[in-house]
Structure 1
Amino acid sequence: MATNRDPYTCPNICPKEGRHDTERNEQEITTVRQHENIHAAPYVPGMIKPPEPKIYPPGAPPKYLPQPTDSTSGDILGMGPIGPWAAGHIDWTPQAGTTGVRPVVDKYSITRYSTGEWRKNNEYILTPRATDKAKALETQTKKDIENAFTNLDKKLKDSNVKLDKRTKDLAHWKKQTEKALQDITDEINTLDEDRARLKGACRILMMPEAISRECLELRTGRYEPDLVRDDAEQELIKEVAIVGEIRRVFMNTLAKVEVQMVKNKAAKSSIEFDWSDKMISLKVDRKNVSLSPESNLILYHPGVTRWPENATTLEYWQHYCAEVVRNCEEVRQESEQLRGDLMTVITKGSQDMKLQADRTNCALAETVEATEAMCENLEENLKENLKKIADIENLIDYLKESLRKVDEKNKCVMTRLHARNYERTSVENCRDEAQYALIAEAKFIKETTESLHGKMRDAEAIRSELMKYRGALEKDIACKRKSLNIDKDRCARVRAHMPSPEEFAGG
């Protein structure tokens, strides 16, 4: 075997020409390689040195974090028969793994990153990137909450002061209305006694007058919208007027008494309504003053943070309170003046009274017939409305069940997307067709949910309208039945005692 063969050339490939050039540079190449790689020489027994402990400078970080002695371009390792690298020296860069610089696999392992890169990755993982933001958010949130509760306490205190002042104002005006109500009540009672003395001279005429007025009083008990001035009402008023005509001499005086009595009752009714409203408002505001955030009676009432449609200004309220008391006092003074003008009168003929009574009875009969027909139509409409409400409620239940099913599908697609977004790693987390399909499914589910919610709102609105219409129908039916009870039963029984012309003639 030839001993002068060049160890760096292949005899089967390299040409023999130029071999003397290789022999001429052999010593120079060997010297350079000895400086570059100390492991280039063949293995010699006894050359392995004992392990040398690594010395870290004082105050160095833990071993798993970057060290001052780490190389920025990777570990410089040489190639040898027992070295760790089959491919020799490799400089590691951020492009590690790119074709051309990827490490070679031997039969033991494959390495991709250097020790320095491993330590830098450990430092990156251990660095808390959101902790400072969380601390700042926590501090600012606590400060904002503290300021918010301070302002809430100030607003609550201011509201309590204003409510307390309001209750004092209401209590003052309530006393004024109570005094005026007592005065007008006493005046009504006194005027009624004087009127009874005047009517004592015509006992027979007391009966038709009492019947006519009682019918009018009964009809004032009708509910809206039946509280109308219909033909029966007109005839009853004419009947009262004819009774006054029969009395001849004291007609004007008695008419004034009756008008004054109506005014007194109207003033009393007005002052009673005002007193009742003030009692309710005072009760409400006293209850509100007693309430606090710790009370057991507080609840959520959505939609109340607004001005009511019938809300008035404070100036108008003060003017109204004073005006009601003043009007009541003026009516009371007029009644006092009228009570000194009462005088007796004589009787008028019974024929006019009988004719007017017949006309009144005919008008009442026509009113009763029309009211009965209207009541029947209202009851039919109520039945149809109740049926339609039941259908709409079934539709709402079906929409709720559909929303529940859509929600289950929404949870399914969200679970799939969450798993694919956060459990797939590295390059596997790609925008494949399945991802596009899941996103499209989620979008369609959202649109479907919004559409179903819109239909739910429409159904709820329609049901609300039907419920309002049902309430209106029931209220109107009750109103019509009340009117029938007054006109058909009570007024008829009262008018059955109307005196005949013979009774008038007989005195």
Structure 2
Amino acid sequence: MAQTGILLTKEPAPQTVPVSELPMRVYEPALNTGPDSSCGLATAGFRAAKYLPEEWHQNNYRQYHEAFADRDHSERCRLESQNVAAYTAELAQRTQEDSTVKVGERLQDIHFWKSELQREIEDLTAETDLLAAQKLRLERALDATELPYSIAMDNLQCRERRLPPDLVRDQVEAELLKEAELIRNIQELLKRTLKQAINQMQLNRDQKQICEMDWSDKVETYNIDEKCGRYNNQSTNIQFHPSSSKFEDSASTPETWAKHSHDNIYRAEREKLASINLRALIDNILHDTAEDLRMQCDTVNEAFAKRCEELEDAKHKLEHHLQKILKEIGDQENNIASLKQAIKDKEMPLKVAQTRLYDRSFRPNVDLCRDAAQFRLISEVEELTNSIEALKKELLQSEQALRNLEDTRMSLEKEIAVKANSLFIDRQKCMAHRARYPTVLKLAGYQ
């Protein structure tokens, strides 16, 4: 604060006595050398230490003059002192009033920045709480992805227990692998986003702490200036502090003081905006990841359903063919039994024919004739033999066909068992397990 110099106004001089009326001031001592001076030895003892009347009058005049001059100077000093006292009293009152006004204006500035800092602190606190809620959603969503991942991996492991030839890399397996990869990518994304949210919350708290420290300084300063603004000349707790009128080396200027709070609020607004953007990003990520997971889940379920339909259709066809094979096996067994009976039935006629030929070979002499009967019996034996050979050949073919039918039956039964096992794995194990897949709300972190 610039020191104000005291301007002294020159008051008009008091009226003075004319010079002609003042007594003459004698500066030279009286000499006893005039015509009237006494001399001689008779008067030597009476005139040695005495003054002349003129000297006596001059001394009186000198005293009068000095008294008048001192009185006149005192009157002048007294009048000037009264003027200076009145001026300084008025100046002191005016300066004190101006200082009080300046302190009041300063209180308004401090209150403004204190209110702005308090509002920013409240906004940062509210924003940090909202970001903490989003962080909780991220944690819940990350935990919720563990179940889909375990379901996908369990489905893949269960389908490894399929028997050949159903152990194929079908569309279901491709979609399950895609689902597992999607879940791992989503987990990595959620972990990165969660780390970013934690860092942003720490930045919000750090900036909030800076604003709180600034706000605390403003509150303390406001209380000090408010107390200073209430001081007056009648205050009982005022005293002299001679060394308080100098500026501190570390004191700031009004510009740097305002810039400090402005920068704190600017940085707080920047962190708050970053937090708002991060919350929006988290919301979009959670929404998109939940939708992606549910879409992939539906795709896998559709692939499972389609695969189960294919397996069911193949199983029904195999069972239908098995029924026909079983019927054909029965018919072939009856056919074999018939062939065996037919062969057996040919044995007696063959015996009869051969016995006839054998007995006729004992005919004597010329009677051993190649007659028609002989030719017929020979042809009969040949026919019977050919018939039996033909029947045995058919029997062999039928028995081979029966064995083939039995092998086919076993193959069909095994294939049906494989299909039943695949259906059990896909439908009872995998699809039943997938019924526990989390909902979109849970994947989005709301539950």
TM bin, normalised by shorter chain, reads 0.3 to 0.5
> What is the TM-score when the length of structure 2 is the normalising length?
0.43
Higher Cα Rg, which structure: 2
Calculate the TM-score normalised by the size of structure 1: 0.38
